Structure formats: structure tokens, C-alpha cells
Amino acid sequence: MTRPYILNELTWKTVRDTRYDVAVLPWGATEAHNYHLPYGTDNIQADELAARAAERAWSRGAKVVVLPGVPFGVNTGQLDIPLCINMNPSTQLLVLRDVATSLAGQGIAKLVVFNGHGANDFRQMIRELQPQVAVFLCTVNWYKVVDPKGFFTDLGDHAGELETSVMQHIAPDLVLPLSEAGSGAARKFKISAFREGWAWAPRNWRQVTDDTGSGNPAASTPEKGKRYVEAVTGKLADFFVELAKADPAKMYE
């Protein structure tokens, strides 16, 4: 059955007769995720959570449409890992500009960049683009919508308990048994300022981890993933509904 909030499934007849208030652009990455999760993990999660949140918002009257996702993210620290595909931030800016310009000319008033990859950061791009396009631009990292501390014991940030549990729930056929997974042990910077977070440098992934994971997936379960996904998509749906109703010219009180 066609979902009226998923552009990939819609015909021109439907689109022509519908006024959409919010477009959602999932943006992921193509990269290794330990031994047990697929390279497309970030894309699968971004697409699915955007769709689930849009479904909940649509049922409440918000005209939200999820665009086809962008499958490549910033992976400059993984260029020596086969088939990890990098898209530089400067390229992302050009892609985002083209999408936003297209929507602006078609009367779509708001665009959410729905991010599913930790190395993607669209905030400065939006600062640059917003004065140039007649579309309200914003971004959300779906994995930061709800604090994972109440759901998971290991808070590693790549192919660990959170991502594995979510994938076990939304795409179980693509997850290998946990007995196949590496431990996700990750080395930390020697320099204390980087460890403490007040200085920053990108991580060289080969030096950080042997199995490409960062976080132990051993305690992952589909039940944990379901609880977390439902909490995240519920909060996202609230956001989509509120954004759909909002006047971009009157965003402050």
C-alpha cells in the first residue's frame, strides 16, 4: 500500500493534488559497522525512522513528505577502509543547496535535514544557505532526540548497543548473530584535551578500532531497539506536527 508521506512511492497525480508543509531529507553514510551490521546501517536507520515519524505526524494532519535519502556522508577518517565512501562537507553543501533551491521554487516552505551519521554536521551549511533560499532550513540528529542512557548500558557511538538494537528491530534480516560481532573496543586519544572534549580532531578509524566498531554490541536486543525507536519517533512526530503548523516568519515568542 502506498504511503502518502514517502515520495519514492508517490505518483504525480498524488503529489499534484497535495500541499506539503514539511519535506524531510534523510542523510546517512556508507561505511563499515563492525562485523555484524551492514555498510548501509546509517541509511537504513535514517530512512526508516524518518518514515515512522512522518507516519505518526501524518496521522495527526501534518503534511510531511520524506524525500529519497542521501547515502553518502563525511568519512574522511575511513578512506583506507574498502568501500567506505566519503562525501566532503563542501560537496554536501552543494547537494543541499540544489535540493533546497528546488523545493523553494515549488512552494515547500520547510526542509528538515534528517541526519543519521555522526560525522555529518549541517549547521554551518544551513547558516550559509538560509539567506539564499526561501525555505526554512533546520537539521536534527535522530540519535540525539532521546537520551540513550535510559535504554542502553553501553553508550558507544558506532555499531554498538544502540545501533545494533535499532537494527535488530527495524531490519533484523540484515543483522548477523551477535556471536559474529567484534567487541567494539575503541582506543582514546593520548592527549587529555581531546579526551575531555574541549579540543577536537577527527578520529583516524583504523587507529581507533580493530573491528570498525566503537561500543560493545553484546547486550543488544530488538526489544531495546523497539522501545528506543518508539520514543524517538514519537518525539520527532511532535516536532514535525509543530513545524508543519509554524509560520517561518513568526518563529519566536
Topology (CATH) of 7-245: Rossmann fold (3.40.50)
The pLDDT of residue 41 is: 98
CB distance 143 to 169 below 8 Å: no
Q: How far is the C-alpha of 65 from the C-alpha of 56, rounded, in Å? A: 12
> pLDDT tens digits for 42-57?
999 999 999 999 999 9
Q: How far is the C-alpha of 71 from the C-alpha of 73, rounded, in Å? A: 7
What is the overall mean pLDDT for the chain?
A: 97
Residue 181's nearest CA partner among 212, 204, 206 is: 212
Kindly state the average pLDDT of the residues 130-148.
97
The H-assigned helical ranges of the chain are 12-16, 41-58, 89-104, 123-129, 161-170, 192-196, 205-208, 222-245
> pLDDT tens digits for 177-219?
999 999 999 999 999 999 999 999 999 999 999 999 999 999 9
